[in-house]
Structure 1
Amino acid sequence: MVVKVVCEMLLKLNCKIIIGDSPGGPYTVPSLKSIYKSTGMKDIADELGVELNYDISEIKVENKNAKALKYMNIITPITKVDHIINICKLKTHGMATFTGGVKNLYGSIAGLQKAEIHYRFPNEEIFCEDVLLDICSYVNPSLTIMDGVVGMEGEGPSAGIPRKIGVTLVSPSPYMIDIVACRVINLDINKVSTIRGSIKREYIKKDLSDISIVGDNIERFIIKDFKIPKTSKDFRLLSSTMPRFIHEPLTRMITPKPVVSHKDCVKCKKCIEVCPAKVIILNNKIEIDLNKCIRCFCCHELCPKKAIDIKRSIIFKLIK
C-alpha cells in the first residue's frame, strides 16, 4: 500500500506523521474510525506507530486569491502541519471525467460542508475550474502521490471498475500530475475541467513545456482502451444563442439524472444525508425530486450499494 511505504520513508527521516481523511458524509469520530478501519489506515497506524487524526474541528480561512471560494471551512489539522502530502488514486469520475491530485483536496473541506459547496456552486464549470482549484491552491501540498498500481475506469467512483495500470506518479505539482495521469489512461486533457482551469490560471503552461518526466518511459504504461465515463456534453453555448424558455426545458431533457435502482437499494439513507439540495426523501422507497435536483451526483458517488445510476437521455446518446 502506497500510504504505508510513504510513512516508512518519512519515519526514516524522523518525521512526525499524521494520517488524515475527511469523508463525504458526517465528519465525526465514529465516521473517521470506520473509514480508517475499512481502508486499512488503522492497521498501518498500529504497525508503524503513527498518528491517525481524530480532530474533527474546523477553521474558517480566507483565500485572497480565490476566484469563487473566498472563504471556506477546512479541517483544522491542515493548518497545523509543516507539510501536506496529498495521496490520491488514479480514477475516473462519472461527472467530472477524472479525479486526481486536484480534486482529492476537496477532502480538505470539513464533512457535509462539501455538500453545501456543491449546492452553492451547482454549475460544473465553476465548481471544477474555480472552486476545486481555489481549494487546491490554498492547501498547496508539498507533494502529490498518485497510486495507479490498480486504478479505476468506467463510471467511478461508486460504479467504477478496478483496472491494473502499474504506475505510481509523484510530483510537487498536483496540476502536472493530473496531466501525466490523463496521458497514461489516454484521456484528452481538454475534457477535464480542473486541467482546463489550471491552464487558464497559468499553473501550467498551455503548451505543457514545463512538464518533465523522469523515471520509466511513460509510453510503456499508456492504456489505449481505458474506459472513460460518458460525461455530459457542454451546452453552455446554447444559453447564449437560444431564448431562455427554449433553453431551460431543452437542458432538462438533455442533462443526465440520478435514478434509483430499488432492487439494489437497502434504504440506508446515505443519499438523503449527503444531498446538498435536500431533494431526496424516504417514502417507503427512496424518491428524488428531479425538478429541484442540482445534478451534483453526490448520491451516485457515495451510495455504498451502487443503487443510484446516472441515466442519460436518448438525445444525449445521439449527440455524444
Structure 2
Amino acid sequence: MNRVVLHPLASYDRAACETALTELLAPLGGMVAFVQPGQRVLIKPNMLAGKSPDRAVTTHPEIVRAVIRQVQDAGGEALVGDSPGVGSCVQVARKCGILAVVEETGARLVPFAESLPASHPGATFHHLELAREVFEADLIINLPKLKTHQMMGLTCAVKNLFGAVVGMRKPQLHLQAGSDKAQFAQMLLDLAGHLQPALSIVDAVVAMQGDGPGSGDPIAVGALLAGENPLAVDAAALELLGLEAADCWTQKIACAQSLPGAALTEVEVLGTNPQALRPRSFRPAKATDVSFGVPPLLRRHLRRSLSALPAIDAQRCSGCGLCIEHCPPTAMAMNKHLPHIDLKRCIGCFCCQELCPSGAILTRQGLLLRLSRFLFRAPQT
C-alpha cells in the first residue's frame, strides 16, 4: 500500500506549523527518514505568481519555513526553487513571502533558469528539458498548494512538478499536447515519473476552489498531507475534497493505466480520516469537456458547444497584455485596449486565465457542455 498521512492544521501560526509538520511526518519516519546529512535538498513550492499568501495562489511561506527548518535539522542543505508563470523567481518569491523565509532561515533561493535534456525511455514524452537544479539535487521535496485547475481539474502533487520546466518551454509543451487534455496529463505523469520526488507535502490549510489555479477563491480546509508517491497523495487529496479520480485528468489517465497509487483502494491514509476534514461544500473547477464518446469528426464541428473556452471580462481587464504574451498558440491580440481571442486557434489550455493578475478571464461553457450533466450521466472532467 502507498501510505499518505493526513493531519489537521487550522492556521498558519508559525509554532503550529512546525508542530503539525513534525506530527505529519512521524508515521513516515520523520524528515530524517528522507534527508541525510550533507545532502542538497531541493524544495519545490508552488510559486505560480507574485500574489500575497492570503490569496491561496502559492504555497504559504510558513509551510515552506517549517520544511526548511526540518531539512536543516536533519543535516541537509535547503534549496528553494521554481519557475513561475509570470515574473522572475526572485520577484514572485518576494511578493508571496517565500524570499523572506529563505533569507531568515539561511536557505538558498535557486531560480530555475537553465534547462538540461532529460531522457525518459519508455515514456510517451521521451525527451523533456528540465531545470538544471533538479539534476544537481540529491533529492526533491515537492511542496504543492491544493487548488483547482481549469485545464486539469486539480493541481496538487503531480501538477506542481510542472514548475521544473523552465520559462517558455512550458508553452511549447502546451502546444505539443494541443487541445488534448489527456496528452497534456500524460506529459505531467511522465514528468513526475522522471523527477520522482522523495516526499510530497501538500499545503491544504487554505486551499483554492472555483477558477483555479490563479483566480479562484480561498477555502479553509485545515489540513496537511504527505506521502512518497505523488499519485497516492493526489488520490488522498481528491478524497479529502470529496472529488472523484475523473475530476482530475492526471488521476484519470493514471487510473486507466493502473499506475501504482492512482486508485484510492491502493492508498492507506494514516492519521485523520479525510471525511473528518472535508469541507461542507467545495466548488470544483468548471467542466471544460464532455467526456462521453463523440465521433472525432462531429467533435471538430461541435467544438465550441462541447467544450469550454476562455472569455474576457471587460470590467475587470486592466489591459496589461500578460495573457497575450503567454498564450501558447498566439491566439490572442489587443483590440481597442482589450484582448481578443481567436477561438479557432485557441487550444483551451487556460494559461491566460491562470496568469491573469486581475481575474479577468472567464470560463465560457458551450451549450451542449452545459446541458450534458442533465442529458447524460457520464462524468465530466
Counterpart CA distance in 1 for 2:160 and 2:113 is 19
Q: Which residue of 1 aligns with 2:72?
A: 11
Q: Which residue of 2 aligns with 1:252?
A: 304
Q: What is the number of equivalent residue pairs in this alignment?
A: 310
Q: Which SS does the other structure have where 1:237 is aligned?
A: coil
Provide the aligned C-alpha RMSD in A.
1.7
Counterpart CA distance in 2 for 1:160 and 1:118 is 22
- Is 1:132 the counterpart of 2:153 in the alignment? no
Q: Which SS does the other structure have where 2:311 is aligned?
A: strand
Contact 1:185 1:224 in 2 (8 A): no
Q: CA deviation at 1:268?
A: 1.3
Contact 2:155 2:213 in 1 (8 A): no
Q: CA deviation at 1:298?
A: 0.5
Unaligned runs of 5+ in 1: none
Q: CA deviation at 1:80?
A: 0.1
Q: Which SS does the other structure have where 1:17 is aligned?
A: strand
Q: Percent identity?
A: 28
Higher relative contact order (CA 8 A, sep 6+): 2
Contact 1:25 1:112 in 2 (8 A): no
1:287 corresponds to which of 340, 343, 358: 340
Question: What do residues 219-273 of structure 1 show as CA deviations (whole Å, max 9, x unaligned)?
Answer: 3112242111221233562125xxx2x4322123222111111222122111112
Counterpart CA distance in 2 for 1:50 and 1:15 is 10
Unaligned runs of 5+ in 2: 1-61, 374-381
CA, structure 1 residues 175+55, in 2 after alignment: closer, same or farther (shift >3 Å)? closer
Aligned ranges 1:159-174 → 2 under 5 Å: 159-174=215-230
Q: Which residue of 1 aligns with 2:84?
A: 23
Counterpart CA distance in 2 for 1:207 and 1:141 is 19
Aligned ranges 1:4-83 → 2 under 5 Å: 4-25=65-86, 31-54=88-111, 56-67=113-124, 69-83=125-139
Q: Which residue of 1 aligns with 2:317?
A: 265
Q: CA deviation at 1:203?
A: 2.8
Whichever residue aligns with residue 165 of structure 1, its letter is V
Contact 2:324 2:333 in 1 (8 A): yes
Deviates more, 1:50-59 or 1:136-145: 50-59
Contact 1:262 1:307 in 2 (8 A): yes
Whichever residue aligns with residue 51 of structure 1, its letter is R
Q: Which residue of 1 aligns with 2:251?
A: 195
CA, structure 1 residues 206+171, in 2 after alignment: closer, same or farther (shift >3 Å)? closer
1:319 corresponds to which of 372, 375, 378: 372
CA, structure 1 residues 83+313, in 2 after alignment: closer, same or farther (shift >3 Å)? same
Q: TM-score, normalised by structure 2?
A: 0.78
Q: Which residue of 1 aligns with 2:295?
A: 239
CA, structure 1 residues 205+261, in 2 after alignment: closer, same or farther (shift >3 Å)? closer
Counterpart CA distance in 1 for 2:365 and 2:303 is 12
Q: TM-score, normalised by structure 1?
A: 0.92
